[in-house]
Structure 1
Amino acid sequence: MERRADAVTDTVPAGPTLGEAARAFLARDEPAEATVRSYEQTLRRLCLTLGDRHPLASLTAGQVAGVFATAWGGAAARTWNRHRSAVRSFGSWARLDDLAAELERRPETASPAPTPDPARLDTLWDDPDLPLRERTLWRLLHESGAAVKTVLSLNVEDLDLEDRRAPAGRTWVSWRAGTARLLPALPAGRTRGPVFLSERRPGPGRTPAPADLCPQTGRRRLSYERAEYLFKEATRPLDPTAGGYTLGRLRGRPAERTPHMLSERA
């Protein structure tokens, strides 16, 4: 047994593990926080699939391609390309061969997909089994026409429930009666911090920026990636292709939006 263990040890490449390298890569000071969150999702999936202790030196483009096929094989071109870019950046930083060598970049179409059938959306607005957070987020996106990241950036202390609006940079995000019925119950007594919170508190490995952390619950701001995943899962039964809808589909075409919903702040 000892001889066999020694033989196995000799075949394991020396150096850092995939998990150690991923944490070091994400801990760099250079990237913007949004970029780090995007990279984190990609590398988390690699670590979960291949193992946190997978030797970094033995990581191959074929293994990465296998992870992509399982995790994002049916993803939109933009999502696929974002994860592909993250893997290329990580491989370049780690001085590995091109980890995206077996991943073809997918062409992205410029024209937005049409809004889902309103009758199908009504099943989401009226489903009491869905969490209040999701129903409020989806309804707010649909009524405001604002970008997903803009809505996720809203804070409790900035909500103007009486006038149905909240500041977002140089603009106002406004909503209608559907959101107005749901939104007041979402903070649940909270007076500050992100409107939309994650389900759990962040782990000790990475502390969010103070602006993304609720001072009362200790939970962090809901990430774009998590919000997108939950919406796709919830809408798979509604989508004729069974792939699920992306949150961007809730915004509709510009002609379908009410002009005052997203306006310049005075």
Structure 2
Amino acid sequence: MGNVRPITPPTAMAIGPAISAYLATLSGPEQRGTRTVYRSTLRALAAEMSTGNSAGFPTAEFDTEASVERLTDWFTTRWANRAPATWNRNLDAVRAATRYWMDQGWISSDPSRRLRRRGRAPDRTRALPRGDVEDFLAREDLELRLKVLARMLYETAARASEVLALDIEEVDLRNRCAKVRRKGNAVDVIVWQTGTARLLPRLIGGRKKGPLFLTDRKARVPLAAADLDPATGKARLSYRRAAELFTAATAACPGGPWTLHQLRHSALTHAAEDGANTSTLLAFSGHTNVASLARYARVSAEALTRWQHQRDPHRRR
């Protein structure tokens, strides 16, 4: 027999302070990105639910069917036409917050219960052809910073966020490797090849410490010392700015513009095509289970075409 829990009325709490209390639980450095995304979603929810209520929307109202219907309609209208990943990410934000509020006794049921996560259609074209990647990395018009970033991402298969978080002190030029923090804050090592090794000293110059990748100009707002170059006052290059630069640089490429993540995806796909075993691919990617790795190790259309051509008994020899 299950435990019997007494039903008690939810404690009074306005939605604004309730959101702040939940976001305060996402305090780890590895949760910084999650906190930023969830804050945006939850503030939009608060604005919607507080419309017409000058005193602020009380979270206990989420237990009424009217509020459940209002949340469902708002969420569906706002994100119904967006990609499944966007829908799911925002739904995760709402559900994570409401679970916390239920644990605090501020609400007694999940107000998002009528919403369902959406499945994502498999995208089997994310890996870029080797020739296209090699042509891009060989371009003479690329600025040094972007060339190093792109080559390092492709040669190490690391996530862009992991590479952009690197400091010069963590880079081992002699052994062509660096320590990074993977998802879940796990410390791991990435290893690069000759292309990156030749470019890195030019990027670093005479700097001894600070972020490896920097912005073009000095920071215009106060930042943590860890995100500033002590010699120039320039800031750490952000993921958003790096993505903007990469998008612009690849706009004219075949299938462009590309995303930074496609370099990681391509590196893993090409490694699998070259015969890397599962253990090597797990170490290369930083994944902890094979299921997460599977979509990256899928053979590319380019390799499939080559394989079919080689085994065609009627091809010209």
Q: TM-score range by the shorter chain?
A: 0.5 to 0.7
The normalised TM-score by structure 1 is 0.60
Whole-angstrom CA distance in 2 between matches of 1:142 and 1:24: 40
- Whether 1:219 and 2:235 are equivalent positions in the alignment is yes
Give 1:176's aligned residue: 193
Report 1:51-62 matches (<5 A).
54=47, 57-58=50-51, 60-62=71-73
Bigger RCO (CA 8 Å, 6+ sep): 1
Give 1:194's aligned residue: 211
Asked if structure 1 preserves the Cα contact closer than 8 Å seen for 2:164 and 2:237, the reply is yes
Q: Which of 77, 90, 93 is the matching residue for 1:86?
A: 93
Give 2:34's aligned residue: 38
The normalised TM-score by structure 2 is 0.53
SS at match of 2:172: coil
Report 1:210-249 matches (<5 A).
212-216=226-230, 217=233, 219-220=235-236, 222-223=238-239, 227=242, 231=246, 235=250, 238=253, 240=255, 244=259, 246-247=261-262, 248-249=264-265
Q: Which of 226, 251, 254 is the matching residue for 2:267?
A: 251
SS at match of 1:166: strand
Unaligned 5+ segments in structure 1 are 1-14
Deviations 1:5-61 (A, max 9, x none): xxxxxxxxxx777xx8866654x14543222322303544786xx69x946524844
Deviations 1:110-156 (A, max 9, x none): x9866311222134323455543333222112112334444334220
Q: Which of 120, 135, 142 is the matching residue for 2:132?
A: 120
Count of aligned pairs between the two proteins: 234
Aligned-residue Cα RMSD (Å) equals 4.7
Deviations 1:77-97 (A, max 9, x none): 4x6534431233245557797
Residue 42 and residue 171 in structure 1: after superposition, are their counterparts in 2 closer, same or farther (change >3 A)?
closer
Give 2:117's aligned residue: 104
Percent identical among aligned pairs is 24
- Whether 1:139 and 2:151 are equivalent positions in the alignment is yes
The answer to which of 139-148 and 229-238 deviates more is 229-238
Unaligned 5+ segments in structure 2 are 1-13, 52-69, 182-186, 285-317
Whole-angstrom CA distance in 2 between matches of 1:100 and 1:127: 51
- Whose radius of gyration is greater, 1 or 2? 2
The answer to which of 175-184 and 185-194 deviates more is 185-194
